[in-house]
Structures are given as structure tokens and as C-alpha cells.
Amino acid sequence: MFRRLTEASGAPVAITIDGVRVAARAGDSVAAAMLAAGHLIARSTPVSGAPRAPYCLMGVCFDCLVAIDGAPNRQVCMIPVREGMCVESLPSPSRIHPTWATLDFRTRAGPSSDGEGGRAKLGRVGSAEPESRGSREFTPPDRLTSFGGRPPLRGGIEALRERYDAAVVGAGPAGLAAARTCARAGLDTVLLDEQAAPGGQIWRGITASPLSRGTVLGQSYWHGETLVREALASGAHYVPGATVWGLLRQGELAVSLAGHSRLIAANRIILATGAMERPFPLPGWTLPGVMTAGGAQVLLKSSALAPAGRTVLAGCGPLVWLIAWQYLNAGVQLEAVLDTTPRANRAHALRHAASFVLSPYLIDGLKLMLAVRRRLRVIGAVVELAAHGEGRLEAVTYRTSGGREQRRTADTLLLHQGVVPNVNLAMAAGVAHRWDAALLCFVPVLDDWGATNVPGLAVAGDGAGIAGVEAAAARGTLAAIGAIRALKPGAGLGAEEHAARATLARYQRGRAFLDAFFRPSGTMRRPCGATVACRCEEVTAREIVDTVALGCPGPNQMKAFLRCGMGPCQGRLCGLTVTELMSEARGVLPDEIGYYRLRPPVKPITVGELAGLPTSEAAMKAVARE
Ligand SMILES: Cc1cc2nc3c(=O)[nH]c(=O)nc-3n(C[C@H](O)[C@H](O)[C@H](O)COP(=O)(O)OP(=O)(O)OC[C@H]3O[C@@H](n4cnc5c(N)ncnc54)[C@H](O)[C@@H]3O)c2cc1C
Ligand code: FES
């Protein structure tokens, strides 16, 4: 259950959820409106029929799929409420709504002859969607238009130009800095972001947050206003609600906006798609009532929503402490904070203590942790954690390294164990990646400008490797300067480059300590037995490990046996778990195991959208039967 902290803000908007009229607020996502109204369950899984509720709140997990105004498979966390909107939760497979009848609800039946699990890849989600998905225009929240600068794109996807000098994907700190720098240098720049408003994850909702300045979220949140204003006023064409689902031929972006797709071209492309929370595959993590801590923070920032019942926050990483502090500021009572940071990390981190002491993170970090510890009971050295309940979360059990075991009744469990680069788009574009043993994830291989092995394509921000907000913005600026110099040989920008490199160096100092100190434990990263690893296809850890015994060398071969990674989230919530499980089972490094082979579309789109793409004469001939 979630409650509003500030009743007054946001104009009232009325929607219906499963036939019940609900009062929402302008600026809410549909997910926020559902949770505020006590509607937890969004859909049931096609495999077991288990209920699911919004989990990530950032468009990654696909557990929040519902039907909106008759169009199925809409992600409620990505769509703003609109007056009169009709929301229907997705029924269990035994009660399929006629418009979903062509969705292939299957039973797991072993490897299929096509090696891809037997279902058509495209159109699996939303293939039966009606043509009319509402307006071709995406409507951003009201207050965004008055936030400053050039108004967001009007006229829907057709208003996008065919070619730009520079295209930036992602309007977080990195993308905003990149777009601002490109546009100020006179490049015709488009800034595409799938969210309804700019700011990325750290500054979610900053143009319309109902929370007042300087209280709950802290000053670091409001610092984002300057960059958002500068980017919007820079002349870059900002397009909210625009998902880039593929980089096809060189310099070509496939963009989906309000249910319609188009291909546009850019001489230089900068991916600033940021980070997502690391998977936290513990027993019961798929139960409604369990969600990511970052997801809960999105609800706080964008809609002033906080958990109302008994809430447990568990995991490790700076964000755990930040969120606990923000909840304390908001007067939210947490039942407990369960710290899963391994005690042994301290000794490893000490090797990097010298640079950490000189870093900007020391003072702020200590203040935050002390403030939380003073007011909340933090239970440390938690080595086992599980969520329990019938159909929804009812209790959390844990064990500490000292052997203390406890069961706590809980309505909400918030999970977090760090963030990792959001790699899907870059990988699908052919960008080379390597395993980073300190960050425990794959990162793109980049030069000093963020340039990749794909000509004309750079990666900036946390998508390039986790380094925090200031480093993200600095990397965005550097990628932009690289693009400007390529397109305008002789362009100066020496001072800007110098400043960005100095900022990057300053904020990279101390990161090695943080990475070592908050390194999540192996048992929290690698589940065992019947614990679900792949949320979409409900594949267990044991099933994955068993495929290694059958001779599966890596995640792509395993797909044919288990369909693991082939659900709508496209491996985002199981990719790292699978790599690490197989690495351990085979006794080889994660780099040797590799990651899923990703291909566009990196987010599910409808067959209608694909069919609506303009087609050349040559392409038609290539598939036509004589
Ligand atoms: C859930 C979450 C909460 C966080 N909260 C905080 C916090 O409170 N404080 C803090 O210091 N750090 C926080 N962080 C870390 C923080 O995100 C980074 O330090 C910083 O914001 C990274 O900036 P960025 O520009 O690289 O990426 P982001 O800020 O993540 O921005 C990436 C943007 O790209 C967009 N995008 C991604 N894929 C596509 C696509 N295919 N098409 C179109 N758009 C796309 C996303 O919508 C997003 O707006 C958080 C991270 C996460 C994952
Ligand atoms: S909650 Fe919407 S995709 Fe995860």
C-alpha cells in the first residue's frame, strides 16, 4: 500500500481501474495511480498464472503490463494518467480477454525445433493490439511545457526530421549535458527519452515533483534543475515518450512514439541510457509487494508516494542509505533496514582508502549513514533473505552471519544491491563489451571520448560504467565534444573539455573504494535451487545450472532449453544472474560465458508498428515471392 505525502499538489485526474473510478493526480504514471488507489496486481504470468505487480517502475521488468483503453500490454510505469483513461489488469491465462487471444500462453516443453522456443519473436507482446492506440502524439505532463526553453515536440512521430547532426538517447544527466553541448555548438540535435519528462533516474519528476524543495529529497536532487533548464533552452529538440528500440544501419535510429515507429538518421549518436538496478534474485522476489528500492524512490520523487504499511528495506549500496534517509525526512516509518553488505568487504575496500579520503564522497556518505543509523535500527551482516506470502508479500525472513534468524510480517519489501549499466541498446547495436570484475557487470569498451567500435556511436553516463551523477554529466559533455569536433573540424571547446575531464577525474576518485565496500555478496547475486532467476519465463536457478551439466556453454544456447531471457524484459532482470550462475557452474570467468546476444527491437513493439515503417523497393523485392 502507498499513501500520498502531499494531498494538495497536482490537478485531479479521474481514471477507471478494473471498472472502479479512481482519483489520480496530473503527473502520476498509471502505476502510481494504481498503487495509490490500492490496486497492486497488474497481470498474471503466462507460465504459472502467478500474480505480478509493478516491480522496477522504470520500464525494465514488464511486470506492470495492463490494458489501457483496450490496448493490451502497456507498461503502467511508463504512461502518464489521462482524464477518462480506462485501465484493466491482465487476467490469468484461463480468462483471456478476446483482444489477447493471439498471445501464445505456453507450457514449458523443452527445446523447440527452431531453437528459439517456438514462438514468433516479434509480436509476442502486443501482436493482437488494435490499430487505434490513441493519439499519435505523446502528451507530456502539463508542467513540463512551462519548465523552460523550447516546447517538446508536437505533432507526434511525423514531426521528427529525417536527419539530425546529433541524436542523443536518454535525458538523464549524461544525455542532458550531451544535448546541451551539441546544440550550443550549433549542431542540429534531437534528445530522445522514453520517460514522460526529463531528468533520468536521479532527477525523476524534477519538472513536476509534488514534493517541496529542500525537504524530503535533499538539495542534490534539486541541483538537477539547472542542467534540465539549460538543456531544454539549448535549442536541442527534446522528445519525451520516445523509445529508441534499435540502431539499425549505421547512423539510423528506430524510434517508437505513442504507438508509432519511424526510422531517423543522425551523423553522430550518443547513447546515454543510464543504469538499472542489479537483479536481486532471492526466494519470493516475484511476489506482489516486493519491489525495487529505486522503484519506490521513483514513486516518491514523481508522485510523493510512500509505502503505508509495514515496510522493510533490504540490500546494499549507497542508494539504500539515501532512500532510508529520504523516507526519514518524509516521516515514513520503516520496520527495518536489512543490510546485506558483506563484512569482509571492509578489508578489501581499505586498499582504496587513501583516494576515498580525498574524494567528495567521504563526508556526504558518512553524514548520510550516521543520520540513518541514529534514527533507524539497521540490522547488519544479513546473509540470507527471503520473501514469503500467498499471492502477495506477507513476511520477510532473514539470517545474519552471527546466526540470528527472524521472521517479520511485512506489506512491502524494497530491494536494492547496486546499479549496473543498461546495456541492451548498445549491445544490440554491436558495441563491444567486457566484464568489469569490480562492478560485476558488462561495460562497453570505449575510448576517452566515449566512442565505441561502431562508427559514429558513443556511450556516455552510467551506461558507460557506474560512476555517479557528476561523472555522468562530464562524460556526456565529452562525448558531445567528440561529436562536435568530428562534424566541425577545428571547433575549439578546449576549456569545456578541460573542465569536463577535471570533473570526471574528481568524481572517479573514491569510486574504487565504494565499489569494493558495497560489492554485493555472491549468495545474493547467485540464487540456488527453486529460486526464480528469470522472472518472465519463471526459470529457476537449478534449471539454469542443470543446462550446464547437459553441455550448454552459455546463455544463448540455454535459451533453446529454457526460454530463459526470452520474455518481454529481454533478459534485463536475469542476464547477469545467468552469466554468473553459468560462470560458477563451469568454473570459468564471466567474460568467457558472455551475455545474451541482443537484437532489435530492444523493447517489445507491435507488428503494426513494424509494418508501418517505410519500406524501400529493394527491401520489398528481397522478401517477395516471384
Ligand atoms: C532507479 C534508480 C534510481 C537512482 N536514484 C539515484 C539518486 O537518487 N541519487 C543518485 O545520486 N543516484 C541515483 N541513481 C544513480 C543515477 O541514475 C546515476 O548516477 C545517474 O543518474 C546516471 O545518469 P545517466 O544520464 O547516465 O542515466 P539516467 O539518469 O539513468 O538516464 C537515462 C535515461 O535514458 C532513458 N532511456 C533508457 N533507454 C532508453 C531507450 N531505449 N530509448 C529512450 N530512452 C531511453 C531513460 O528513460 C532515462 O531517462 C539511481 C539509479 C537508478 C537506476
Ligand atoms: S514496473 Fe513497469 S516495467 Fe517494471
**Which one of 56, 68, 285, 570 would you pick to mutate in the ligand 2 pocket, going by the greatest count of ligand atoms within 8 A of its CB?**
56
Are 550 and 254 a contacting pair, CB within 8 Å? no
Are 204 and 469 a contacting pair, CB within 8 Å? no
Which ligand places an atom closest to the C-alpha of 276?
1
Q: What is the pLDDT of residue 155?
A: 63
The number of the ligand 2 atom at minimal distance from the alpha carbon of 295 is 1
- Report the residue count for the chain: 626
pTM of the model as a whole: 0.91
Q: What is the pLDDT of residue 491?
A: 86
Q: What percent of the chain has pLDDT over 90?
A: 79
148 pLDDT higher than 90: no
501 pLDDT higher than 90: yes
478 pLDDT higher than 70: yes
**Residue 111 — very low, low, confident or very high, per pLDDT cuts 50/70/90?**
very low
Q: Which of 215-224, 329-338, 459-468, 614-623 has the lowest mean pLDDT?
A: 614-623
Ligand 2 neighbourhood includes 456 CB (under 6 angstroms) = no
520 pLDDT higher than 50: yes
- Which residue has better confidence, 141 or 283? 283
The number of the ligand 2 atom at minimal distance from the alpha carbon of 57 is 1
The number of the ligand 2 atom at minimal distance from the alpha carbon of 291 is 1
Ligand 1 neighbourhood includes 601 CB (under 6 angstroms) = no
Residue 582 CA, ligand 2 centroid: distance in Å: 27
Which tens digits make up the pLDDT trace of 392-430? 999 999 999 999 999 999 999 999 999 999 999 999 999
DSSP state of 430: T
Q: What is the pLDDT of residue 133?
A: 41
Q: What is the pLDDT of residue 326?
A: 96
Q: What is the pLDDT of residue 209?
A: 86
Q: What is the pLDDT of residue 156?
A: 81
Peptide bond just before 601 cis, omega within 30 deg: yes
Ligand 2 neighbourhood includes 55 CB (under 6 angstroms) = yes
Angle between helices 494-508 and 469-487 in degrees, nearest 10: 150
Which tens digits make up the pLDDT trace of 34-90? 999 999 999 999 889 999 999 999 999 999 999 999 998 999 999 999 999 999 998
**Residue 14 — very low, low, confident or very high, per pLDDT cuts 50/70/90?**
very high
Are 124 and 103 a contacting pair, CB within 8 Å? yes
Nearest-angstrom CA–CA distance, 400 and 386: 12
The number of the ligand 1 atom at minimal distance from the alpha carbon of 173 is 25
**Which one of 40, 45, 64 would you pick to mutate in the ligand 2 pocket, going by the greatest count of ligand atoms within 8 A of its CB?**
64
Question: What's the mean per-residue pLDDT of the chain?
Answer: 89
Nearest CA to ligand 1 atom 41: 244
Domains of the chain: 2-96 (3.10.20.440), 161-276+421-491 (3.50.50.60), 304-417 (3.50.50.60), 526-593 (1.10.10)
The number of the ligand 1 atom at minimal distance from the alpha carbon of 57 is 1
- Which residue has better confidence, 133 or 543? 543
Q: What percent of the chain has pLDDT over 70?
A: 88
Which ligand places an atom closest to the C-alpha of 473?
1
The number of the ligand 1 atom at minimal distance from the alpha carbon of 468 is 19
At residue 463, what is the residue type? G
Q: What is the pLDDT of residue 8?
A: 57
Handedness of CA 512, 517, 523, 524 (dihedral sign): negative
Q: What is the pLDDT of residue 581?
A: 98
Ligand 1 neighbourhood includes 276 CB (under 6 angstroms) = yes
Q: What is the pLDDT of residue 411?
A: 97
Which ligand places an atom closest to the C-alpha of 568?
2
622 pLDDT higher than 80: no
Residue 275 CA, ligand 1 centroid: distance in Å: 5
**Residue 612 — very low, low, confident or very high, per pLDDT cuts 50/70/90?**
confident
Pick from 45-54, 501-510, 611-620 the range whose average pLDDT is largest: 501-510
Which tens digits make up the pLDDT trace of 191-223? 999 999 999 999 999 998 888 766 899 988 999
231 pLDDT higher than 60: yes
Residue 523 CA, ligand 2 centroid: distance in Å: 25
Ligand 1 neighbourhood includes 565 CB (under 6 angstroms) = no
Which tens digits make up the pLDDT trace of 430-446? 999 999 999 999 999 99
Q: What is the pLDDT of residue 114?
A: 37
- Mention every residue, 6+ apart, whose C-beta is less than 8 A from residue 591: 434, 435
- Classify 326 as helix, strand or coil: helix
Ligand 2 neighbourhood includes 63 CB (under 6 angstroms) = yes
Ligand 1 neighbourhood includes 271 CB (under 6 angstroms) = no
Q: What is the pLDDT of residue 307?
A: 96
Ligand 2 neighbourhood includes 195 CB (under 6 angstroms) = no
- Classify 301 as helix, strand or coil: helix
Nearest-angstrom CA–CA distance, 575 and 65: 21
Ligand 1 neighbourhood includes 396 CB (under 6 angstroms) = no
Which tens digits make up the pLDDT trace of 149-197? 445 555 688 889 999 999 999 999 999 999 999 999 999 999 999 999 9
Q: What are 489's three cell numbers?
A: 573540424
Q: What is the pLDDT of residue 74?
A: 93
Ligand 1 neighbourhood includes 277 CB (under 6 angstroms) = yes
**Residue 613 — very low, low, confident or very high, per pLDDT cuts 50/70/90?**
confident
- Classify 254 as helix, strand or coil: strand
Are 231 and 211 a contacting pair, CB within 8 Å? no
Residue 201 CA, ligand 1 centroid: distance in Å: 4
Residues 556-584: b if buried by 16+ CB within 10 A, e if exposed: eebbbbbbbbbbbbbbbbbbbbbbbbbbb
